[in-house]
Structure 1
Amino acid sequence: MFALVHKNKKTITFVAGFLLILALVLHLTGYTDMRQTVLIFATVIAGIPIAIKSFQALKMKAFSIEMLVTIAVIGALVIGEYVESAVVTFLFLFGDYLEVHTLEKTRSSLKKLVDMAPQEATVIREGIEATVPVEEVIEGDQVIIRTGGKVPVDGKIISGHASLNEAAITGESIPASKKQGDKVFSSAVIDSGYIEIIAEKVGDDTTFAKIIELVEEAQESKSKTEKFLNKFANVYTPAVVVLSIVVYVLTRDFHLAITFLVIACPGALIIGAPVSSVAGIGNGAKNGVLIKGGEVMDRFSKVDTVVFDKTGTLTKGKPEVTAIKVFDLYKEQELLRLVAQVEMVSEHHLGKTIVKEAELQKIALNRQPQAVRVIKGNGLAAIVDERQIVIGNRKLMNAEKINISKEIEAYAVKREKAGNTAVFAAVDGAVAGIFSIADQIREDAVPALAQMRSNGIQKMVMLTGDNQHTAELVAIALGLDEFHAELLPEDKVAFVKQLKQQGHVVAMAGDGVNDAPAIATADIGLAMGEGGTDISMETADVVLMADKLMQFSHAYSLSKATIRNMKQNTFFAVGIVAVLLGGVLMGSIHLASGMFIHEASVLIVILNAMRLLGFNRQNMKTQKPLEPVNAEI
């Protein structure tokens, strides 16, 4: 019965509306008795869904708005106010319909995401090309995607070249060029080209599936305002019932007490905050920013200090070997081979850069290093070809008691002052060479940071494991307030804790892998999604899927706009209830007119929240292009 009524609520609403029109026609034509019957019938039809919802809430020991309306409608029927009872039930149902319809629009970004999910995949199995449902693709499958097709799973390109639209993942509509060796994500669309990939993540493990899951969870997560209003409603509703009884006792006017009961319904107050939160989170998802819920949005809006990792956050995170200097009898390629053999086991950006350089020079790397030791934050050591190889920074060289001569130190400092990271490579206890590795500052870093300052960020700090000289170059170029270099992950955590103890509300932005501890420690952890998607999604409160700092600026502006919108809705709702109750007690507002104003206020707060769906940061004024600055990862 309950399910049937709920399923047909829309039909019931429009039937009640038709009956009201019929009652008006009967009134104008003089059929008074028949009009009364139609009004009672309309009241009963429209009142059933309201009464059922009230009963369900009561079973869960909750005092709902529906309970107030049900009591008021029964009272109106008892005193013979059939017009008001019919109008009130219809308006309440119609208002509920508008709420549901409008809320569906605020969730449109999530629906669009779900609609983007690929349904089929073309795979090669046993040499035969076949089209299968995307659920049947397994890890290791060879998948073909042609022009106009959607990438069905996460994977790595093994053949071909294509231009891909990754807007569903990153929020960026500009196509990205992808070639052999590049990673692609589920739901990306091939604008032109042809690729074959090996499936690495399928089904619910794909990045796109995780995005949908996170957005769904975020839209269900409540802000502090929403939690307070829910608790408030449970106290407010019974209080209104008691006050309406007091009104009746004082005035002996049953009609006035019933009117007071209905008009006091806090509908706009209860719906205002959730709809703002859902709309704000939906806007973020549409723009490639995952904000994990209303409470995160609330905390983010209060951030006054941002701490940045350097590599992969302020810089592009795509370093290159700019020079290899040898100091011993080794030739450059021989030293590169030895070091790259060791770095093959490393997950660090620097190590991968050296391996990539060896591959570019077509150096064979076919021997696994022995006795590998990873020294966190400093480097690593291993045995290759029966030689002891140590690779890392000065701290590691000193720890391993490897002497750095004045000549070697002078060269290293020179390279660092030029914006490089100097990676020391020692063979059998002596420094054999230095690898210079450089990165570049992101093109959008300057305007994004300027925009964040204009929106309320008071302090910007950079923490990095890189050397002092390179860190200083980046900090000066970006106009940061502070920078601290040569830090280990635990040092970054300690610094974030110190800022919090000083009273700052801190956001920590990093790549989500090496910076995971500091990200977790901050009030708001923010991760650049592309650099380590799985870990960043789990650790951070906010994930930027396109790895763009302008997305950070948008997310911060959006959080402030969303909380501001919540407050507007709350103040408006409280004001409307106060005005209506005052009007009821003064006799200028009656049951039907009051209910109409009440439902109109609900619609107004929803429409106000929907403005967030189109929210976008204001375009910055044209700025002088940023000069390329090299900086190590």
Structure 2
Amino acid sequence: MEKIKKSHIVMVSGMLLGIAFLFYLLKLLLWRDAALILATVVAGYPIVKKAVQAVRMRAFSIELLVIIAVVGALIIGEYVESAAVTFLFLFGAYLETRTLEKTRNSLKTLMDMVPLEATVLQGGRKVILPIENIVKGDRILIQSGEKIAVDGKVVEGQGFINQATITGESVPANKKRGDTVFGGTILDNGYLEVEAEKVGDDTAFAKIIELVEEAQEAKAKTQRFLERFANVYTPGILVLSVIVFLFTQNIELTLTFLVIACPGALVISAPVSLVAGIGNGAKAGTLVKGGEVMENLAKMDVVVFDKTGTLTKGKPEVTGVKGFGMKEDQLIKLAAEVEARSEHHLGRTIVKEAKNRDMVLTNQPFNFAVKKGQGITATLDKKHVVIGNRKLLENNGTRVNNDAYSFAIQEEKYGNTVIFVGVNNQLAGIISIADQIRREARETIEHLRALGIKQTIMLTGDNKHSAKKVADQLGIDRVFAEMLPEDKVAQIKQLKAEGKRVAMVGDGINDAPAIALADVGIAMGAVGTDAAMETADVVLMGDNLAKIPYTYRLAKATVRNLKQNMFFAVGTVGLLLAGVLFGKVFLASGMLIHELSVLIVILNAIRLVRFGKRNKKRIWPINGKLAKA
């Protein structure tokens, strides 16, 4: 409503200026002056309102400078200048508002994707319900062209889903029984029945909207500095204007100096660039949580990666089972019943293996305890069960004999992660698990290096043999294996103490402390835990590491754009003030140039909205080969 009112005021004041010009041509000077004064009052009203609000809050705003100058112009009879200044200032503010809305289109586009209702299967009947009435466990029916209203698992059907709103990728993903789907995405073709797991504000899509809103409100250090600068600058200009008048005794020159000194373009130089950059990232499937994060991201020179679920797909498979005094199926069933309560990738892999073997998990674990970076302990069917690495078993009184240890070392050399299972202080068996490296992982690391990242590091709780094999395949500079969460934190602290600007990329609960400590924490949103996503500064909504180089380039472009705007704004004000003092720039013409500078700053920021589109098929040289960025 406020936007409509402002547009109406701009329109009416502009019409009054046109009428005043017509009266001038007809030599009706009295009517001309009346129209100019009325135009000044109409356009000046919202400016006076904002100035009064600022004064009540004990702040000196730009509007205050304009009002002082306009009142002075009216007193000395310069009605053309007073009308032109108020109209141009209000028109500039209107353009700024409209442009900021354009840069926020990514958020509006997201919100437009939210479905209002969904078809639910209830008692064999199809019922259309508003999305607020859908609850966890409901079975949702989706047909070709429909939007998906919930996050959930496919229980029937198959189809291709456009997940651009979540991942930024426009290529439809093939979804079948057992796959996860996200609310806000569109079923291009096919038929799906989805069991709702997250509804309403809990869906990934709702969290994206919330994160983008928060990010676009969060201010950068530069933006906060400019706001503090404006609060000092305004009273400073008032004092300088008084000095100019005392030296020149020229009220018109003083008023011109007062108006031209308004730092309008400077004050908006940071927010328009940051909002546009954050909006671009959101459209591409990367959520940057605020301007300060954008600035920090542009400065990073070391990127630290977790392994499982980050550099690897996070979809490991059981590659071998060896029992020591227990049959393979018994070992898998026992381990799966304990791991059913675990959120860890490896635990879910064991549960999946049990289901693949058509096992029914009946027993419930008690005294369940997670030992971060080591494994879990629990009581199952009156048995004390320990599942994890060798250190955890031995700390809980289970000795790993030499034969078992030699077998485990051999499995690790093949690139497997080894899970020891102990029951009542006796080794029950070893489960071998392997995870595939992400297809884009090596290219991502090469791209980052080409963009100026000085060092890449891998921190993992996995064994040193598997860790080294992955690091060698990806060309990672340094690798640290068998690390607990506190070890990862200590490593981040060490890097920061050395003066490095560190980004930490991870996806699990184990990574959350290190993500929080890093200068920039980056979470894998599609596969990551809520803890990692909430802690992180940047969330990659797609399951794609290639978003990291893109976001790094976007951050650099955003900060560069911001600096361009600042330098241009300061330079324009400096030149205009010099022109005023030398009698070359006058009130109306100076105000016109001033508002044009605001428009140029806005247009420069809008370029960020299209960042990446022209370079969408940019080719990167990697080891003599070509790859798309």
User: Do these two structures clear the TM 0.5 threshold for a shared fold by scoring above it?
Assistant: yes
Distance 2:433 2:353 in 1: 11
Q: Contact 1:511–1:528 at 8 Å: present in 2 too?
A: yes
Distance 1:309 1:189 in 2: 32
Corresponding letter in the other structure for 1:544: L
Q: Does 1:277 align with 2:278?
A: no
Q: Contact 1:152–1:187 at 8 Å: present in 2 too?
A: yes
- What residue number does 1:471 align with? 467
Residues 7 and 192 of structure 1, relative CA distance in 2, 3 Å threshold: closer
**Superposed, which structure 2 residues align to 1:30-429 within 5 Å?**
30-328=27-325, 330-369=326-365, 372-382=368-378, 384=380, 389-427=385-423, 429=425
Q: Does 1:621 align with 2:617?
A: no
Residue 545 of structure 2 is aligned with which of 540, 546, 549? 549
Q: Secondary structure at the match of 2:476?
A: coil
**Superposed, which structure 2 residues align to 1:10-25 within 5 Å?**
10-25=7-22
Shift of 1:369: 4.0
- Name stretches of at least 5 consecutive residues in structure 1 with no aligned partner: 627-633
Q: Does 1:602 align with 2:601?
A: no
Q: Deviations over 1:289-324 (max 9, x none)?
A: 111111111222222211111111111111011122
Shift of 1:438: 0.7
Q: Contact 1:530–1:545 at 8 Å: present in 2 too?
A: yes
Q: Secondary structure at the match of 2:526?
A: helix
Q: Contact 1:451–1:620 at 8 Å: present in 2 too?
A: no
Q: Secondary structure at the match of 2:304?
A: strand
Shift of 1:566: 1.0
Residue 500 of structure 2 is aligned with which of 504, 514, 533? 504
Q: Does 1:456 align with 2:452?
A: yes
The more displaced of 244-253 and 498-507 is 498-507
Corresponding letter in the other structure for 1:343: E
Q: Contact 1:207–1:533 at 8 Å: present in 2 too?
A: no
Q: Deviations over 1:576-608 (max 9, x none)?
A: 000000000000000111001000000111111
Q: Deviations over 1:223-263 (max 9, x none)?
A: 01111111111111111111111111100000000000000
Distance 1:239 1:198 in 2: 63
Shift of 1:24: 2.4
Q: Contact 1:95–1:602 at 8 Å: present in 2 too?
A: yes
Shift of 1:383: 5.2
Q: Secondary structure at the match of 1:52?
A: helix
Residues 376 and 513 of structure 1, relative CA distance in 2, 3 Å threshold: closer
Q: Contact 2:372–2:510 at 8 Å: present in 1 too?
A: no
Shift of 1:370: 5.3
Distance 2:366 2:223 in 1: 57
Residues 438 and 32 of structure 1, relative CA distance in 2, 3 Å threshold: same
Residues 615 and 234 of structure 1, relative CA distance in 2, 3 Å threshold: same
TM-score by length of 2: 0.94
- Name stretches of at least 5 consecutive residues in structure 2 with no aligned partner: none
Residues 601 and 308 of structure 1, relative CA distance in 2, 3 Å threshold: same
Distance 1:246 1:388 in 2: 85
The more displaced of 32-41 and 235-244 is 32-41
The more displaced of 202-211 and 369-378 is 369-378
Shift of 1:110: 0.7
Q: Does 1:568 align with 2:589?
A: no
Instruction: Indicate the percent of aligned positions where both proteins have the same amino acid.
Output: 57
- What residue number does 1:27 align with? 24
Residues 31 and 131 of structure 1, relative CA distance in 2, 3 Å threshold: same
The more displaced of 542-551 and 180-189 is 180-189
Q: Contact 1:158–1:197 at 8 Å: present in 2 too?
A: yes
Q: Contact 1:512–1:519 at 8 Å: present in 2 too?
A: no
Q: Deviations over 1:431-459 (max 9, x none)?
A: 44322211111111112112222223212
Q: Contact 1:512–1:540 at 8 Å: present in 2 too?
A: no
Q: Contact 1:512–1:529 at 8 Å: present in 2 too?
A: no
Residues 331 and 30 of structure 1, relative CA distance in 2, 3 Å threshold: same
Q: Secondary structure at the match of 1:8?
A: helix
Distance 2:8 2:343 in 1: 60
Corresponding letter in the other structure for 2:355: E
TM-score by length of 1: 0.94
- What residue number does 1:631 align with? none
- What residue number does 1:486 align with? 482
Shift of 1:180: 2.5
Q: Deviations over 1:268-306 (max 9, x none)?
A: 000110111101110111111111111111222222211
Corresponding letter in the other structure for 1:591: L
Q: Secondary structure at the match of 1:594?
A: helix
Q: Contact 2:511–2:532 at 8 Å: present in 1 too?
A: no
Distance 2:63 2:370 in 1: 63
Residues 390 and 10 of structure 1, relative CA distance in 2, 3 Å threshold: closer
Runs of at least 4 residues off by over 6 Å: none
Shift of 1:535: 2.1
Q: Deviations over 1:361-408 (max 9, x none)?
A: 223322234555544322234455665544322212332444434433
Corresponding letter in the other structure for 2:153: K
